[in-house]
A and B are shown apart, each in its own frame.
Chain A
Amino acid sequence: MSTQVKEQSAFSGRDVREQSASEIVATGICKTYGAGPFAKDVVRDCSFTIESNKLTVMIGPSGCGKSTLIQLIAGFETPDQGTITMDGRPITGPGMDRLVLFQESALFPWMTTYDNIMYGPRARGEDTKESAELAEFLLNKVGLEAFRDKYPQQLSGGMQRRAELARAMINKPEVMILDEPFRGLDNMSKELMWEYYAGLYEEDRNTNFFVTTDIDEAIFLADRLLIMTNLPTSTRAVIEIDIPRPRRIEDVVNSSRANEIKKEVMTLLHEEAMKSFSGGSKAAADFLDAYSKRAG
């Protein structure tokens, strides 16, 4: 048993923990949807850096255009102005070096867990013994070996997210991009997934970019926290989260440093949320005015 564990970690050392150092830099990007009177500014003059070998979390009011930023970084869309570069090269389209885990589970319902995980290697014509071994290893790692021949609908929400992580990891992407991956999970599974995902990250420390609306999630996971403004989106603040790793939920809950950061983040987000709430309506603005007076 112990030898097997050793073998596995040796294997992971060779294949999964390959360190890469990739940095994504967005400079002055703008994105508008629609034209003429229907034009809607979604991103305006937005700059930020996803530093290499760090877990960068982006948080902002819901509907603030974070998903648009992901589409831009992933290369599914191009910015109207500004540039996004990865290691100095501009991003021109989707690429294997940046893998995105989308909000909704995008496991193929018509493939078993194993076939889903093997999809990337097979699509690239790398249906080799090494890929198969790595798939087995990852199945084990995400605890789904008993579910290898099940279809996604037969898995729980948490299992689906883990299968999707495995499907991404098998391709050894230089940057992993996660768009609210744990949204819709119940609180218990969510916290388990935080610890699980943080553990995965702490193992290889590759560049990760994680988008969320959940403050606790953001603080628990992040090395760097980007706080975004309301529409049109730009970067409001950057906070370095210096809570030591490995992190555990209890430690972070009890940490006074974490609570300080939480207050700071909440204040910033609250302001942005209020802007979004009033949305130009006089009545809403009056309400917020009265509300802040009472609170102040």
Chain B
Amino acid sequence: MSNTLDSTAGPQGAEVTTMTLTMHRVSSWLKSPRPYLMLIGFAAVLGFWFLSVEIWKLPRFVDMPGPTEVFSEWFSKDPYYGLSIYTPEYYKHIGISLRRIGFAFLLATGLGVPLGLFLGWSKSFREYIFPLFEVLRPIPVLAWVPLAIIMFAGSETPVIFLTFLASFFATTLNTMLGVESIDESYSRAARCLGANRWQTFRHVVVPGAMPYIFTGLQISIGVAWFSLVAGEMVSGQYGLGYLINTAYMMIEYPKIIIGMITLGIVGYSTSALVRLLGDYLMQWRVRELALGDN
């Protein structure tokens, strides 16, 4: 019984429709002015960077590496500072950061979503936990750094702990709000139709909170990168934050920019992944929105 009910979340033979839907979206996106405006936006920033550093040589930009230097270093087979897309070290930094993010994000999701669901669902449980939660939540991740280093052995655990923290709060809070946002008529309908409390939880509370949960996960993955870089700058070895920080200390400025752009790209990709997972689990919303498009 549970199989049939739970399978409603996943696509049932919907691959074809999802595929055509995606194709349709891509083609209409290409026909709209949006991709071209996007290119103009990128070009404007790159242009400003190029002009201010390499042509006008603005006073405060003296030590700033220009785009030519950065990109030739980044794509060089024999990079001057030893870091480019051809060196294994570059991928080691990315890989280690991703591993930390993955670990912390999964931990935060695995603990935050159930906690949020129960906070939203049970009033008495909320009375115990929520005030504590509200006091801990505003403490910035950076304030946790010393304690994290004292509490956890080695250099890896403190970084993962810091990355986990902010993610965990964002996920829990949004999940809780998600449960609170569910229209009471759904639970009433379920109870009227003979569902018990546990069934109502699984079939109404969980799917009903799903849109908020995924908003939470989007925020969570973003703050995870933020905290990761902060953590990597003070503790740990390897990783993109570490790369940026050491490049600064060693006066290898182009590496800073390479690290930053890489962070942007990798961070965006992880967010996109979370969004795709959300679309996959919430077919009903995808269809709804697609319908609105036409």
Contacts and interface: CB of A to CB of B under 8 A. Distances in A.
A151 B284 contact: yes
A102 B188 contact: yes
A28 interface: no
B1 to A, nearest CB: 5
Given A123-B203, A151-B287, A171 B8 contact: no
A110 interface: yes
B284 A94 contact: no
Given A99-B192, A108-B203, A108-B207, A122 B1 contact: yes
A255 B204 CA distance: 46
B287 A111 contact: no
B193 interface: yes
A204 interface: no
Contact of A94 (B4, B185, B191, B204): B191
B193 A171 contact: yes
Interface stretch (A112-120, A182-190, A242-250): A112-120
Given A110-B210, A153-B291, A154-B287, A102 B194 contact: no
A167 interface: yes
A99 B199 CA distance: 18
B8 A94 contact: no
Contacts of B8: 110-112, 115
A162 to B, nearest CB: 16
A76 B191 CA distance: 10
Contacts of B189: 100, 102, 106, 108
Contacts, number: 87
B246 to A, nearest CB: 48
A109 interface: yes
A74 B183 contact: no
Given A108-B203, A110-B9, A127 B4 contact: yes
Nearest to B7: A115
A94 B186 CA distance: 14
A167 B193 CA distance: 9
Interface residues of A, number: 33
A154 B1 contact: no
B282 interface: yes
A106 B5 contact: no
A8 B284 CA distance: 32
A277 to B, nearest CB: 29
A72 to B, nearest CB: 13
A183 to B, nearest CB: 13
A157 to B, nearest CB: 15
A105 B179 CA distance: 19
A96 B190 CA distance: 11
B194 A96 contact: yes
Interface in A114-149: 115, 118-120, 122-125, 127, 149
Contacts of A264: none
A57 to B, nearest CB: 20
Interface in A163-178: 167, 171
A153 B284 contact: yes
Nearest to B5: A122
B85 interface: no
A104 interface: yes
A77 B234 CA distance: 57
A94 B195 CA distance: 11
Contacts of B127: none
Given A119-B195, A127-B1, 15 more contacts: A94-B191, A96-B192, A99-B193, A100-B192, A102-B189, A108-B189, A108-B204, A110-B207, A115-B5, A120-B193, A122-B1, A122-B4, A123-B195, A125-B1, A153-B284
Interface of A: 74, 76, 94, 96, 98-100, 102-104, 106, 108-112, 115, 118-120, 122-125, 127, 149-154, 167, 171
11 contacts: A74-B188, A96-B194, A98-B192, A99-B192, A102-B185, A102-B189, A112-B8, A115-B5, A119-B193, A123-B194, A153-B284
